[in-house]
Chain A
Amino acid sequence: MLSINNLQASIGDKQILKGLNLEVNAGEVHAIMGPNGAGKSTLASVLAGREDYEVTGGSVLFDGEDLLDMAPEVRAAEGIFLAFQYPVEIPGVSTTNFLKTAMNEIRKHRGQDPLDAVQFLKLMKEKMKLVNIDQSLLSRSLNEGFSGGEKKRNEIFQMAMLEPKLAILDETDSGLDIDALRIVAEGVNTLRSPERATIVVTHYQRLLDYIVPDFVHVLYQGRIVKSGPKELALELEEKGYDWIKAEVEASV
């Protein structure tokens, strides 16, 4: 589904991704871990199409198509979803109105008719229950004045509504208590299917108790330097990243 080959990206003069490789197949869940500043959010942003980052080399194929060639909205319509580490506040636009616009734009892209108000509401009700989010929150300006947890839950709610093929969660677990964490995990697990895939960026193995990954990767200094089964996450939790750093240095 997603094939990242020798990806290099920079912001300004600063190179952040330095030849990153990753293969994600349909049905899989990949966890990406790594120390602060390693480039995890950069990778997520480049995949979603943030224009601040300049891709200076390598390629990304999504279902065989050149992903880097697509505008962010086209990527979304093709099935990519990024749950932001820091969701943006949009004053004056309610979540409901925002999502309705987004869904119908995506449907237009796919040649489908727009959802009518009744269909949309029905879908919303269903997904609201899933992530235990309140109607009153959805009527307010998107993310404005939301608590950290509310913002993250709102990201998962949007994901549940849009049902992406490839969901990328950038530290959605940070700052969540255990109940909220469970809700987030449930949102992700409900979406799990043989046609879909998920990339979970996280600092803590805690989340991976609930979203059990097929693979764990360590991103360090702009590269995936180690990959392994889910047990790798436990090892990282126990030993930290120093041994990985040492391994990388030794191999230079």
Chain B
Amino acid sequence: MTPSYASYNEFKDQLLAAFQSNEERMNGESKTPLHQVRRAALHQFDLLGFPTIRHEEWKYSNVANLLKEAFDLDNSSSLTADDLTPLQIPNLDGNIITFVNGIYRADLSRLVSPAEQVQITSFAEGAKADPDFIGAHFARYADYQDNAFTALNTAMASDGVVIRVPANTTVEQPIILRFITDARERNIASQPRNLVIVGQNSEVTMAESFRTLGGRTSFVNVVTEIALERDARMQYYKVQDETDNAYHIGTTQVNQSDNSHFYSATVTLNGNFVRNNLNIVLNGQHAEAFMYGLYMPNGRQHVDNHTLVDHAMPNSYSSELYKGILDDNGTGVFNGKIYVRPDAQKTNAYQSCKNVVLSSGASMNTKPQLEIYADDVKCSHGTTTGQLNDEALFYMRSRGIPKDAARTLLLYAFVQDVVSQIKIQPIREYLEGVVAQKLGQ
């Protein structure tokens, strides 16, 4: 029998104790500014505790089941390159950076971009090599005052990546972060932390991929902070293809300066319980953010996407399209917040969330939240949740396409405007394969 926690606070107490014992083993390091931030975050985590469904932000996503699992916080793994073969994406070139159970694995990573284009280090190395740089950015963007998981990650993040793109540079090869959880032998909890700074007038493409090996429970609590300086451009993809025993809670926090462009796609293919927070602060004029999302929970899977676009300055633009296909007893949540601050005149903000519900047991909860404090703005939002179009199905069948194939073709077409956003071709092809497989069953 797998061990399990008896009370809601047991996991929390275990984490607090782990922090303490870790601190005791430190020498001078506990005095560094970085550690002071971690300690403050831990204190905040202690105050907040794990949220319950009484918390407005967690109303439809209950973490109670996660807190019944038990994790021993030993993240060692015997995983080798051979074990990763089944998870390989064919023809994928670029900088491939692998983390196993949240810990950087140089032996499974490959850096191809020259250092003039981009500096990529593990978080642990980066913190040692350039503590001032880390100190200037770490936890500056992702607020941990109101989010227990971000607070926890800030306090305890094991490892992750630090990416710095200098000014006036195009990083030609994409950067692929692979987070592998090795849950073959025991339950694993990991807390990766990433920091990406894209310099003025530079461009980079990055993907985060989350996979799980083995049938035990995995819990990933990831935070990625991204800062785009003036005129910077970034393509950012988050792809989740985990097991039915995987819990994933993640926050991507983006800070954009003048005239920067951020293109994102968040694709959740599989996972037991997934919560993605994508928070973008448009902290500059003429900044533009594009957010695409796709989720397709089936079985008993639950996928929750919370997005926040904060238009803090005038003349900025945001556009958002999230799409869901829900089957069996799958459940989904979309919560899209748009703030337009009093100064942010001439804001354009568009939001759309479209869902197809394929079975009576599946459900979708959508909530657009617009808070507009400027008067000269253009905002629109819309959500639709419906079944597959019967008229279209009949039309296709009347031309000789069998019902199942027609259904698959329609659904595949439905997801295309999200999937086609992914400009790393091997990843897009891999996604198309998994999507087709999942729709075709």
Contact = CB atoms under 8 A, between A and B. Distances in A.
A88 B392 contact: yes
A138 interface: no
Nearest to B399: A102
B395 A88 contact: yes
B400 interface: yes
Q: How large is the interface on A (under 10, 10 to 19, 20 to 34, 35 or more residues)?
A: 20 to 34
Interface string B359-403: 000000000000000000000000000000111101111111111
Contacts of A88: 389, 391-392, 394-395
A105 B414 CA distance: 21
A48 B402 CA distance: 14
Contacts of B396: 90, 98, 102
A76 B413 contact: no
A71 B403 CA distance: 9
A92 interface: yes
Given A71-B403, A88-B392, A90-B392, A76 B397 contact: yes
A109 B400 contact: yes
Interface in A125-184: 141, 158, 162
A33 interface: no
A49 B400 contact: no
Contacts of A105: 400-402, 405
B46 interface: no
Q: How large is the interface on B (under 10, 10 to 19, 20 to 34, 35 or more residues)?
A: 20 to 34
A208 to B, nearest CB: 25
B429 interface: no
Max count, chain A CB within 10 A of own CB: residue among B397, B409, B412, B416:
B397
B67 interface: no
Nearest to A82: B398
Nearest to A83: B398
A75 B402 CA distance: 11
Given A90-B410, A93-B410, A106 B400 contact: yes
A92 B397 contact: no
Contact of A49 (B390, B398, B412, B413): B398
Contact of B413 (A72, A91, A109): A91
B417 interface: yes
Contacts of A75: 398
A78 to B, nearest CB: 9
A82 B400 CA distance: 11
Given A92-B416, A101-B405, A105-B405, A73 B395 contact: no
A218 interface: no
B397 A71 contact: yes
Max count, chain A CB within 10 A of own CB: residue among B401, B413, B416:
B401
B400 A77 contact: yes
A48 B398 CA distance: 6
Contact of A84 (B395, B401, B406, B409): B395
A76 B395 contact: no
Contacts of B398: 48-50, 72-73, 75-76, 81-82, 84
Interface of B: 389-392, 394-403, 405-406, 409-410, 412-414, 416-417
Interface of A: 48-52, 71-73, 75-77, 81-82, 84, 87-93, 98-99, 101-103, 105-106, 109, 141, 158, 162
